[in-house]
Structure 1
Amino acid sequence: MGNRTAKSSLDPNLLDKLVEETGLEREVIIAWRKQFLSACPSNKMNRKDFYKFYRSLRVESDDKVKEIVNFIFTAFDRDSNGKIDFTEFLCGYAITSLGTMRQKLDYVFAVYDKDKNNSIDRKEMVRVISAMYDLLGKSREDYPPERCVNDVFSLIDVNNDHSLTKDEFIDGVLKNPYLSDLISPFNE
């Protein structure tokens, strides 16, 4: 019983840190925590749990959300332990919803960098762009994902090494803001 209370209450220091990092009000964070624990009492979501929870936050159909959720899970799992805890979820969701463009792009980079080697290659980008096409119901015939990726790389791969570092990616998108609509799964 005491353990249950400890799990449901949020450490005041952590709460202060989350307010600072996310810009959310204390009451909003507490409400999110309650919803998160309701969906996942252990406070650690695996991919399947995350899919169910994230799916409840989106309006698109299951088949459209399914593939992109795998990439988002990897981006939110900042410590790469295969689980997302409340702090990782809240920071990821708040920043990708309310953060500055630079903060959002940091998460977008993590979505693409599937192997977490701190660079994005064309293959990684094509996989995510393809999943985004599915999410948005976009035709692959009009503007194939491969062509989209070639266009993105031609604009922001400044050293032409066929790989994008985080700085190259973020700076390139900030200089070409229309790219955000093409590459970000976090746009509404």
Structure 2
Amino acid sequence: MGQQSSSQDREKEKELMQRHKIDKRELETLRKLFRERCGGKHKALTKTKFREVYNELFPGKSTQYADEMFRLFDMDGNGEVDFVEFVRNICMCDSDDIEEKIEVAFALYDKDNSKTISQTEVRNILEAYANMFGGRLEGGKTGAQIAKEFFEEMDADGDQTVTFKEFREAARRNSAILSIVNPEPPNWNN
């Protein structure tokens, strides 16, 4: 059984490398990072560990945003993020493929999986995002202020919900709408 699981894991990793255009070295770097974050004997990130990572990286309150990202990363809904889920989501969030990034961002905004985004969902995720940086973003705006601007831009037909089509069109015009999927911690490159 262990051999079959190992064989399946190698197959999944090969698929990840092909799909996300990463090489063996990059995969090993991600594996090292993942193991460091899991700590000890754990083979998956728990929600608690996931929160710890965000709290280490950002100066503000990160728990709410970390929980939203955990929801996105935990693709099978088992309450843990395994290595394959971790790599897949890291690659998707950091992707140069705009369509892939749009899909990830839409899923992050669409908390209730209704296939539409409400103004409340936009406000909640942008407030969580802003809280990681002390509550204010570029230009001193709050998450709620930016959410209002983004929602007005996204809701092309004015029906108070945003479809995937509306979201895609708005995100293509304004890439800032996608910035929530790949926040850069302060002093990240220093």
TM-score, normalized by length of structure 2?
Answer: 0.77
Unaligned runs of 5+ in 2: 185-190
Give the letter for the 1:84 counterpart: V
Q: Distance in 1 between matches of 2:54 and 2:27?
A: 17
Which of 162, 165, 175 matches 2:163?
165
Tell me how far 1:138 sits from its aligned partner.
4.5
Please report the TM-score for the alignment, with normalisation by the length of structure 1: 0.78
Question: Post-superposition, which runs of at least 4 consecutive aligned residues in structure 1 deviate over 6 A?
Answer: 5-10
Partner of 1:186: 182
- 2:48 maps to 1:51: no
Amino acid at match of 1:160: G
**1:98 offset after TM fit, Å?**
3.4
Partner of 1:94: 91
Q: Distance in 2 between matches of 1:54 and 1:98?
A: 20
The equivalent of 2:9 in structure 1 is: 11
Residues 84-122 of structure 1: CA distance to partner in whole angstroms, max 9, x if unpaired? 221111111122123322222222222222222222111
Q: Secondary structure at the match of 1:137?
A: coil
Post-superposition CA distance 1:121-156 (Å, at most 9, x none): 111111111111112235389534333222212212
CA, structure 1 residues 42+139, in 2 after alignment: closer, same or farther (shift >3 Å)? Answer: closer
- Contact kept? 1:74, 1:110, Cα under 8 Å: no
Contact 2:154 2:166 in 1 (8 A): yes
Instruction: Tell me which of 76, 80, 84 is aligned to 1:79.
Output: 76
Letter paired with 2:110:
D
Residue identity (%): 22
Seen in structure 2, the aligned counterparts of structure 1 residues 131 and 27 have a Cα distance that, compared at 3 Å, is same
Distance (Å, rounded) in 1 between the aligned partners of 2:168 and 2:18 = 23
Which of 98, 103, 107 is matched with 1:110 structurally? 107
Residue deviations 1:9-48 (CA, integer Å, cap 9, x gap): 8733222201012221112213422442452644333211
- Is 1:67 the counterpart of 2:64 in the alignment? yes
Gapped regions of structure 1 (runs ≥ 5): none
Does residue 148 of the first structure (1) align with residue 146 of the second (2)? yes
**Structure 1 Cα separation of the partners of residues 4 and 44 of structure 2:** 15
CA distance in 1, matches of 2:174, 2:34: 36
Do the aligned residues in 1 keep the contact of 2:17 with 2:24 (CA within 8 Å)?
yes
Aligned equivalents of 1:116, 1:80: Cα separation in 2:
13
> What is the match of residue 188 of structure 2?
none
The code of the aligned residue for 1:86 comes to F
Give, as a single letter, the amino acid of the residue that structure 2 aligns with 1:172: A
